[in-house]
Each structure stands twice: as C-alpha cells, then as structure tokens.
A and B are shown apart, each in its own frame.
Chain A
Amino acid sequence: MIKVIASGWYCSLQDEGRFGYRNCGVPVSGAMDQAAFQLANKLLGNEMGAIALEITAKGPVLEFTEAAVVAISGADFSPKIDGRELGMNVVFAVSEGSTMTFDSPSEGIRAYLAIKGGFVTEPVLGSGSYYRGITAQWQLHKGDTLRFNKNSENEVELNSIEPSLKSVLDNEQIEVFEGPEFGLLSSPFQHKLLNTLCSVNSQSNRMAYLLDHTETLSAKQIVTAPVQPGTVQLTPGGRLIVLMRDAQTTGGYARIFQLTEDAINRMSQKRAGEEIKFKRVDLPFDTHV
C-alpha cells in the first residue's frame, strides 16, 4: 500500500481511457500524455494499459508501507526516495517504509508513476481512470491509500530508456489535421490561423487547453456535433479551445483542427504561458467522398 502524506496539486489514477460509452456522453479520460504513461508501464513490463498515477505541476509525498518496483516517465519532477535522487525512465525498487518526494519540473507539467503490477482501483465502466461524476474519487487527497497488484514478482530488471522528452518539450509546433469546419474558412483566414502564435492560458486543465492570442479570429457556431480529444474549437468570440482527454463528447463550436495523437501528448505537457503554433499535416490517406 502507498499512503498519501501530501496530495500535490492534482494527482489522479489514469489508464488508456474509458471506451464504449461515448454515445452516453461519457468522456474518454485516461492519461493526458499517453506516450509517457505507456513508457513507464513498458519499462516495468506491465500490461499496456496498467493503471498509473498522473502527477500534475506539483508532486505528492508518498509513503510506501510495503516494498514496490516503480518507474517514472514524463516531466522530470526530480523524484527522490528518502532524499536520494532516483532519475527518470528507470526501474527501481522501493523498500518498505520509504518516502517518495518530488520537486517541481522545470519543463513539462505531467509525470506518470507506474508500479509493477499496476495500481488497483474499482473499475467503472471498464476503466480505472478518475473522472468527476463517474468515479467516486477524482483526485488524490492527503490520507488516501493507493493499492497495487503484488502477484507479479518484485524483481528489478534494471530497465532504463534514454529520456527523449527534451525534443518533445522544446518544440512549439503542434501538428494538426484539418478539422471538419476548416474548409469553411476563407484561405486568408486559414493562413492566419496557421501563423498565429498562441500562449497557453492558466485556466487549462484535463478537459481543455485554452489558448490566448492577439489576432482577430472568429467562426460561426455549428449545429452540435461530435468532438474528441485533440479537437481544436474556435468560438464566435475568437477563443481557441483544444479539447483534451476529459473533453465532452459533443460540442457546438467550429472544429477547425484535429491534433495528431502525438500532438495531444505534447500539448498535455505545455504549461501556462508557453507558446505554441499549429502546423498542418496531411492525413495519412485523406479523402472526401
């Protein structure tokens, strides 16, 4: 078991997501940065979708009441065990009674603490991902306990992967496909959208990233239609909204772009004030019929 001594800013258990209920209005949820989440599980030899702890902006303080084998990927929060630096993207053994602490990352904003065997939580509609209104709990609180599977042997197979995060974090370009309403915009306007430098607003969260910019942008509302994680909406008032993993399933604003899977992961590591620019890429086999 792991005891939560301090909750950090926003920690939640996440997996690949909750699929099969979007027609009931249930968001997908799941780890914001799926690449970092998968990496941490892969290092441990876990199943692809094993539940991990998503840590945001400020790390928690965790006390291990039993031994565990863990790996941490994503933004570098300088994780420590009893004051000793652990390093990122490495498998390490944590002994019973030790305490894990984190600093704040200098780049990126989300990290994934994966544990050998995976965390255990009551699955709701087929997923362990926290979501307010669907799961009883939606973020960690001081005093909570986290359980994990222990049936797998706690052997350390010193896996490690060279961190490739640097290039991911440095890049201000967010790759997008055209969204369903992109073609309705005039070509000078399309050009402007692709050359607008935007900065991440501090109100951004797991549901959506809001982008600030100084251009005059606008798009008419649409008849409510499907949206998904990575959909970029433009409001009549000029607000740019990038829907993220906890996004609603339908929306009424123009869908001008759709982020690539990779770009959603990259976006989820952006912090308030960081600048981004959209870069259009072609769909692998684009066609209109």
Chain B
Amino acid sequence: MKNYPTYRMFGEHTILLDWPSSNELDVHKEVLRFARFISETFGDEIIETVPTYQSLAVYLKPEINTRLFMDTLLGRKISVSEIASEMPQLVTIPVCYEPDYGIDILEVAAAKQRAVSEVIKLHTDPIYKVFFLGFLPGFPYLDGLNSKLSTPRRNSPRPQVEKGSVGIGGSQTGIYTIDSPGGWNIIGRTPLNFFDSTQLPPTQVNAGDYIKFQAITPTEYDLICVEVDAGTFEWRKEAYHD
C-alpha cells in the first residue's frame, strides 16, 4: 500500500493528488501512471490532468460533482496499481554549443575553470529525465545535470532569450521553448521547435521521456533549420527502458 496519494479538492473543479516525498523517481512513475489511468478511464468527466514531481492535478468538467468523482477515484485504487507504465522514449536533441549560439558558454567554462570542450562533454554525456512540462509552453523540467556544471542564475535576467536556447540555472538545465525573458546561462541552441502550436500534439517530448543532447556544428545547425522550416525534419526517437 506504499506510495498511495492523498486526495483533496483544489478549488471547485479540481482534485489534487499528492504523494509523500520518498524516492523521487519511484513517486514520479506513480504520478504518471495515475495520470494515464485517470485520463484513459474518465475521459467524459475530466478536461485534463497536469503531473509534476509528486503531485497530479485533475481538472474536472464544471458539470461534474467533484466530491462524488473523488469517491469514484478512491474506489478505483486497485485498478490503478495494475496499469503498466507507458514505454518512455529517448529523444536526441541536436545543440550547437558555439559561442555565437551559446552566448554564455565561455563565461560558464571560465567560472568552472574548464575547457569549453569539457563543458560540452559534461552536458552531452548524461541521459536526462523529463519530469513534466511547465513554466513555458513545452518547457521540460529535466533531471540529470552533472553537478560540476551547476551555475547560479545570472544577476539580472535578459529581457529576451531566443527560442531554442539551452541554459543552465542553478542545478537545472533546460530549453527555452519560446522567446521569453530569462536568467539562465545560455550554453547552446537547438534548431528544433520544442513547441509548435500548429501541430497536434504541440510537443514532441513529454513527461516521462528521456533526452540526450548531441553537439552539432553551425553548418549542421543551418541544415537542420532548413529541414525544420520545410517540415521534413524527423526527430530521432528510440524506445528506452528505464
């Protein structure tokens, strides 16, 4: 019976499930399992669900009785535990780390007293887990940054960080999915559209997936841009057993 969440109302039409904080990765798997179970089982009652590290928001249609629905959910505990996790995918993200693209990479390397090539290696080596999307449309909350690359946010945020910029803020790394103000140190840029509102779904990388960064040259960056603009670019995705 471990890892069961508590249920509570969060406003009139929302149920919030919270898991006790124990093993982050195990808890997060449960969050995604519940999200999938609830979405697949109660399509008529819910609008959508939002998973995070150890919580799940279930947004109900306004005509649904929230209390009764919560009782129904509680009665279905067992079936949730029987549902298999979805097979995650590993998505490769090409990134150009040249200083024209990663405008802060020289500064980060200097602060870390490392060669730029070492910074690139430390950033491209790990496989990062996507916990969930939030903050900006399509923005992935990633886990797995090598602590040797932890860098405090910049003292003053930039009014505009270009879409596709890959940054480090504290112990986190991430991708600015749309043009946005931001205070992270920018070490590279991907030519891929992490958020495309003309596509369904608008994101290619989702909660529970994994990503790996791959260093590319400015020439490769330009070539991929052409393919992305022409709509012929194919994302590199493979099944991944976690």
Contact = CB atoms under 8 A, between A and B. Distances in A.
Interface of A: 19-27, 124-125, 133-135, 177, 179-180, 223-226, 228, 230-231, 248-250, 255, 258-261, 283-289
Contacts of B11: 177, 228, 230-231, 258-260
Given A124-B197, A134-B137, A224-B134, A20 B48 contact: yes
B49, B65, B135, B141 — which one has the most chain A CB atoms within 10 A of its CB? B135
B10 interface: yes
A255 B52 CA distance: 15
Contact of B7 (A124, A230, A289): A289
A25 B48 contact: no
Name which of B12, B67, B136, B198 has the most chain A CB atoms within 10 A of its CB: B12
Max count, chain B CB within 10 A of own CB: residue among A133, A134, A260, A288: A133
Contacts of B195: 24-25, 133
B50 A249 contact: yes
Contact of B67 (A177, A261, A287): A287
Interface residues of B, number: 51
Contact of A289 (B12, B57, B74, B132): B74
Contacts of A20: 47-48
The listed residue with most B CB atoms (<10 A of its CB), out of A20, A177, A225, A258, is A225
A6 to B, nearest CB: 26
Given A133-B179, A225-B54, 16 more contacts: A23-B35, A23-B51, A24-B138, A25-B139, A125-B202, A177-B12, A180-B18, A228-B11, A228-B57, A228-B59, A248-B134, A250-B50, A258-B11, A284-B67, A285-B65, A289-B6
A121 to B, nearest CB: 13
A76 to B, nearest CB: 28
A25 B206 CA distance: 10
A285 B67 contact: yes
Given A180-B16, A226-B16, A24 B137 contact: yes
Contacts of B135: 25, 248, 250
